[in-house]
Amino acid sequence: MKFDTLTVHAGAAVDAETGALVAPLHLSTTFEHEPDGSARQGFTYQRGDNPTQCRLEHALAALDSGDAAVFCASGMAAGTALLQAIPAGSHVLLQDDIYHGYRTLARDYFERWRLRVSSVDMTDLDAVRTAIDPRTRLVWAESPSNPLLKVIDIAGLATLARDHEARLVIDSTFATPALQQPLTLGADIVLHSATKYMGGHSDVMGGALVFAENGEFAAACRLVRSTIGLNASPFAAWMVLRGLRSLAVRIDKHCANARVVAEFLAGHSQVESTHYPGLASHPQHALARRQMRDFGGMLSFRVLGGRDAALAVAGRLRLFTNATSLGGCESLVEHRASVEGAHPVSPSNLLRLSVGIEDPADLIDDLAHALDAR
Ligand SMILES: *Cc1c(COP(=O)(O)O)cnc(C)c1O
C-alpha cells in the first residue's frame, strides 16, 4: 500500500465482534485469564498492553516502515523509555540543536541515571566521528531540528553509528512519517511526539518509538514502559489513531502554507534570517530535498532589532496564537528563548512558527501587519 492509503487503513481492521469500522476504545484495566492462567489474547493488565494501544502500535510501525512500535504517554516518556533501556555507564551523543526537554533531561537526570552525555553539531559528520567514544550506545539526532530547522544526514549518521556499535535514534516529530522515513535510511529507532502532527488537533498527548527490528532492544523499551508506568491511556491511543487517518492531507497543507510563509519572511526587510529547509538558501536544502518528500510546517525566523523587537512582533500577531507546541490545525507563534527556562539557548530574536492549515493569504496578512507596524 502507498503511504496515503496506509494512513487510512493501518490498524483499521473491522471489529470482529461488532462489525464496527472505527476501532473500539477498550478502557478495561484488567483482562480475564484462561483457566490455565495464560492471557487470552496477550492482554492481562492495561499498563502492560491493551487492545487499543496495540492497534495504534501496528499503525505506527506500518507508517514508519518499522517492525514494531512502543506507544508512551508523551514524547518525553518515549525518550525516557529509550534512555532507561540502555546500560548504566553508557555515553549518549546528542545533537546540539534539540528539543529543550531532552536537553534538560540530560543536564538534570543523566548523572543520577549513570549516563554520560556530550552534544555536537550533527550537520558536521566529522565532528560526530570525533565525539563518538567507545561507550557511546546511543546517537540521538533530531531532523529537522527544533528550533533551528537543521537537517541531518540520516544515512551518513547511521553508517557512523553502526561502525561504533551505537544505536541511532532520529526524533522525526517535525517531519512525521509522511515526509521522512528514517528507518529506511538506516536509523534503528524513530521517535515521535505524537502530541504534535500525529494527534494533529492540539488535544492529546502521546509519544512513539518505532523500531527497525522487533528485537531485544524494542522488548527492553516495552518493559521499561510498563515497569516504570510510562504508558498512555487507551483514550490517548485512540485519539492518536484517529488523528493518523488525516495525517497525509493535513501535512500537505501544512507544507504548502509553510512554503508561502517562508518565502514571504525571507523577502521581508525586518527579517534578519529565515530557517526553513524548503528555501534554497537553507544550508542543508539539497540534503533535505533528497531525504524528505516535502519540507514540513515548521519554521523559525530572526527579527531585526533583537529580543524586544521579536516579542513586539509576536504580540502584534492576531491569527498566530502566542503559545507553545506545534502540529495542530491552528497557526502558533512562540518566542522560544522565553519558554526554555533558566538556561535559554535559542537566539533571543528568534520566533518559531507552527504554520497551520488556514488560508495562507490570511497568514501572510497577519505577518505583514505585525512586521510592518514597526
Ligand atoms: C514536543 C516535542 C517533544 C516532546 O514531546 P511531548 O509529547 O511534549 O512530551 C520531543 N521532540 C520534539 C521535536 C518535540 O517537538
Q: What is the pLDDT of residues 8-65, one digit of tens each?
A: 999 999 999 999 999 999 999 999 999 999 998 999 999 999 999 999 999 999 999 9
Under DSSP, is residue 203 helix (H, G, I), strand (E, B) or coil? coil
User: What mean pLDDT do residues 302-331 have?
Assistant: 97
pLDDT of the residue at 317: 98
pLDDT of the residue at 341: 80
Q: Is 80 in the pocket of ligand 1 (CB under 6 A)?
A: no
Q: Is 99 in the pocket of ligand 1 (CB under 6 A)?
A: yes
pLDDT of the residue at 187: 98
Label the pairing between strands 136-142 and 189-193: unpaired
Q: Is 344 in the pocket of ligand 1 (CB under 6 A)?
A: no
Task: Read off the pLDDT of residues 59-84 as tens digits, 9 standing for 90 and up.
Answer: 999 999 999 999 999 999 999 999 99
**Is pLDDT above 80 for 267?**
yes
Cα 118 to the chain's mean position, in Å?
21
pLDDT of the residue at 254: 98
Which atom of ligand 1 is nearest the CA belonging to 145?
13
pLDDT of the residue at 294: 98
Of 183, 198, 187, 170, the closest CA to residue 71 belongs to 198
Task: Read off the pLDDT of residues 97-124 as tens digits, 9 standing for 90 and up.
Answer: 999 999 999 999 999 999 999 999 999 9
Of 150, 167, 196, 352, catalytic? 196
pLDDT of the residue at 36: 94
C-alpha 76 – ligand 1 centre gap (Å)? 6
Of 49, 64, 97, 171, catalytic? 171
User: What mean pLDDT do residues 296-313 have?
Assistant: 97
User: What mean pLDDT do residues 212-222 have?
Assistant: 98
Task: Read off the pLDDT of residues 174-210 as tens digits, 9 standing for 90 and up.
Answer: 999 999 999 999 999 999 999 999 999 999 999 999 9
**Is pLDDT above 80 for 315?**
yes
- Structure confidence at residue 332 as a pLDDT band (50, 70, 90): very high
DSSP label at residue 322: E
Task: Read off the pLDDT of residues 121-167 as tens digits, 9 standing for 90 and up.
Answer: 999 999 999 999 999 999 999 999 999 999 999 999 999 999 999 99
User: What mean pLDDT do residues 266-292 have?
Assistant: 98
Q: Please, what is the average pLDDT of the chain?
A: 97
User: What mean pLDDT do residues 231-240 have?
Assistant: 98
Q: Phi and psi at residue 27, in whole multiples of 5°?
A: -100, -5
359 among known catalytic residues: no
Q: Is 181 in the pocket of ligand 1 (CB under 6 A)?
A: no
Q: Whole-angstrom Cα distance, residue 8 to residue 253? A: 17
Contact at 8 Å (CB) between 18 and 65? no
**Is pLDDT above 70 for 92?**
yes
Q: Is 50 in the pocket of ligand 1 (CB under 6 A)?
A: no
C-alpha 75 – ligand 1 centre gap (Å)? 5
* All cell numbers assigned to 371: 512586521
Q: Is 71 in the pocket of ligand 1 (CB under 6 A)?
A: no
Which atom of ligand 1 is nearest the CA belonging to 76?
9
Residue nearest (by alpha carbon) to ligand 1 atom 1: 193
Q: Whole-angstrom Cα distance, residue 102 to residue 109? A: 10
pLDDT of the residue at 209: 99
Of 49, 96, 99, 352, catalytic? 99
Exposure string (b/e) for 110-146, b if CB count within 10 Å is 16 or more? Answer: beeeebebebbebbeeeebeebbeeebbbbbbbbbbb
Q: Is 173 in the pocket of ligand 1 (CB under 6 A)?
A: yes
Least confidently predicted of 40-44, 264-268, 270-274, 301-305 = 40-44
Mutation choice for ligand 1 from 97, 99, 103, CB with most ligand atoms inside 8 A: 99
Q: Whole-angstrom Cα distance, residue 256 to residue 297? A: 8
pLDDT of the residue at 344: 85
pLDDT of the residue at 270: 97
pLDDT of the residue at 374: 54
With a CB cutoff of 8 Å and minimum separation 6, the contacts of 3 are 63, 177, 178, 248
196 among known catalytic residues: yes
Q: Is 142 in the pocket of ligand 1 (CB under 6 A)?
A: yes
% residues pLDDT > 90 (the chain): 97
C-alpha 346 – ligand 1 centre gap (Å)? 16
Under DSSP, is residue 271 helix (H, G, I), strand (E, B) or coil? strand
